Amino acid sequence: MSVVHVVGSLNADQLLELTAYPAAGETVLASDVRLSAGGKGGNQAVAAARAGAEVVMVGAVGDDAHGRLVRAELDGAGVDTRPVRTVEGTPTGTAIVLLDRAGENRIVVAPGANSRLTAADVELGLRDLGEGDVLLLQLEIPPEVVVHAARLGKRRGALVVLNAAPAPERADCLGADLDHLVVNRGEMDAVAQLLGLIDELPTGEPARAETGRDALPALVAQVAGSLSCTVVCTAGADGAYVCGDGDGEAVTHVPAVAVTATDTTAAGDTFTGYLAADLAAGRRRPASALARASAAAALTVTRPGAMDSIPHADELPTAFGP
């Protein structure tokens, strides 16, 4: 089986449960607070490992209690953390997660040691990356490091997967080295804007999911054609769409698994990690792997937390695993 190599962020997540988000100048009381390991890179590495893949993590943490917490969680999940660098004098990345009663979240991230990850770290950490392996990237680390890693992965013959989250602000992250792009609906808009496929939002306004259900498949096909790679777009309760997996310009829709969400934190990371694991296992047509990834993400949103909420493959309904 091929190995999943993850180059990405490692954070300590501080989750606050609220009855409602505060307005400007307002103070609200949280009903609960939890500290756990997280970060898109770390979450996706754990998800891929729990899906059954062999996983190597390349990232950076601070020399602090949060860094030790994150490293211990990854080690406990079976992720190889030897390429994770400890940065002296810099705190581990921190994410403040605000969770409302509907299970929806708002997240603020302080990058900390993630911003200190370098091309040299990538070169060293990916020394064993080989042909047929999967390289999984996100955008919570410096974009130039993402571009360098993708170029290295392509040169080594790896399958390069970018989860363009947070929404990209630079087009060079969407270069010719990508084999698979994974986005949610809001991130899809940001990508399409960078590619000139839809109108840009006013300066300073965040990306939003403007594409309606009827328009989304066509946009997925346009982005896949523009980037010449497979595009997977998750759409919450509407499931996921994939284009570019060998079916020409056809867009395949995979329905979501119906659940009652209590916490959406790490749902997208679970989906992406499971997808990467299936690609490493030889399931090279993403449409055949999306159902299992969707089932894993659905189980994640029924549980609180980030890494703690990510299921093992044997927890999935029989129809989707292992």
* Mean pLDDT along residues 125-144: 97
Q: Are 269 and 47 in contact (CB under 8 A)?
A: yes
Render 209-224 in DSSP notation, one character per residue. Answer: ----TTTHHHHHHHHH
pLDDT at position 322 is 54
Task: Determine the Cα–Cα distance for residues 147 and 155; give it in Å rounded to an integer.
Answer: 12
In angstroms, how far is the first alpha carbon of the chain from the final one? Answer: 15
pLDDT at site 76 = 97
Chain-wide mean pLDDT for the chain? 90
Q: Which tokens sit at 260? A: 């009652």
pLDDT at 235: 92
**Feature table: binding site for substrate:** 11-13, 39-43, 140, 269
DSSP assignment of 224-259 equals: HHHHTSEEEEE-GGG-EEEE-SSSTT-EEEEPPPP-
3-state SS assignment for residue 91: coil
133, 177, 269, 278: the active-site residue: 269
Give pLDDT tens digits for 188-225: 999 999 999 998 654 445 444 455 556 899 999 999 99
- Give per-residue pLDDT as tens, 16-56: 988 888 899 999 999 888 899 999 999 999 999 999 999 99
- What confidence tens digit (pLDDT) does each residue in 70-121 have? 999 999 999 999 999 999 999 999 989 888 887 778 889 899 999 999 999 9
Residue ranges for the binding site for K(+)? 263, 265, 300, 303, 305, 309
Least confident of 91-105, 116-130, 137-151, 220-234: 91-105
Active site residue 269: yes
Predicted pLDDT at 212: 53
SS3 115: helix
pLDDT digits (tens, 9 = 90+) for 49-62: 999 999 999 999 99
CB 14 within 8 A of CB 65: no
CATH class for domain 3-9+38-91+112-320? alpha beta
Q: State whether residue 230 is helix, strand or coil.
A: strand
Is the confidence at residue 259, as pLDDT, over 60? yes
Q: Contact at 8 Å (CB) between 90 and 112?
A: yes
Look at residue 100 in the predicted model and tell me its pLDDT. 84
Ramachandran class of 196: left when φ > 0, alpha when ψ lies in -120 to 50, beta otherwise: left
Beta-carbon contacts of residue 292 (< 8 Å; ≥ 6 apart): 51, 274, 278, 316, 320, 321
What pLDDT does residue 289 have?
Answer: 80
Least confident of 141-155, 219-233, 248-262: 248-262
Q: What's the confidence (pLDDT) of residue 286?
A: 65
The conformation of residue 281, written as its DSSP 8-state character, comes to: T
Q: Which residue numbers belong to the known binding site?
A: 11-13, 39-43, 140, 184, 234-239, 263, 265, 268-269, 300, 303, 305, 309
Using only the alpha carbons of the chain, give its radius of gyration: 18
Least confident of 9-13, 204-208, 257-261: 204-208
Give residue for tokens 């093992």.
312
The pLDDT of residue 80 is 98
Residue 245 has pLDDT above 70, yes or no: no
Q: What is the pLDDT of residue 99?
A: 83
Mean pLDDT of 225-246: 89
Residue 206: what pLDDT?
47
Q: Which residues are known binding-site members for ATP? A: 184, 234-239, 268-269
Percent of the chain with pLDDT over 90: 70
Tens digit of each residue's pLDDT (9 = 90 or more) over 179-188? 999 999 999 9
pLDDT score, position 317: 75
- For residue 199, what pLDDT is reported? 80
